[in-house]
Amino acid sequence: MTGKIIHCPMCRSTDIYWDARGPQSTLHHCRKCGYNGAFILECDEESEVHMG
Ligand SMILES: [Zn+2]
């Protein structure tokens, strides 16, 4: 399965969750820096990932 990993555009964290409270709600939220917005970075799994 080819999955895409979403990153926070501000802090590059992958700890992102959706605000799914409404049918038109397309906001992403970052748990790390508190960013929220429709813009998000998408990367393929093969992209460089630096963990810790
Ligand atoms: Zn962030």
- Among residues 49, 51, 50, 17, the alpha carbon closest in space to that of 32 is found at 17
Tokens of 32: 């790390």
Residue 8 inside a domain? The answer is yes
Residues within 5 A (CB) of ion ligand 1: 8, 10-11, 13, 30, 32-33, 35
The total of structural domains in the chain comes to 1
Residue 38 inside a domain? The answer is yes
pLDDT single digits (tens) 3-22: 788 899 999 999 998 877 77
Output the CA 24–ligand 1 centroid distance in Å. Answer: 22
Output the CA 10–ligand 1 centroid distance in Å. Answer: 5
Output the CA 1–ligand 1 centroid distance in Å. Answer: 26
- Among residues 49, 6, 50, the alpha carbon closest in space to that of 31 is found at 6
Residue 49 inside a domain? The answer is no
Instruction: Considering only the C-alpha atoms of the chain, give the largest distance between any 2 of them, rounded to a whole number of Å.
Output: 36
pTM of the full structure: 0.67
Q: Which domain holds residue 12?
A: 4-44
- Among residues 44, 1, 23, the alpha carbon closest in space to that of 14 is found at 44
Residue 50 inside a domain? The answer is no
What is the average per-residue pLDDT within 19-29?
75
Residue 51 inside a domain? The answer is no
Residue 16 inside a domain? The answer is yes
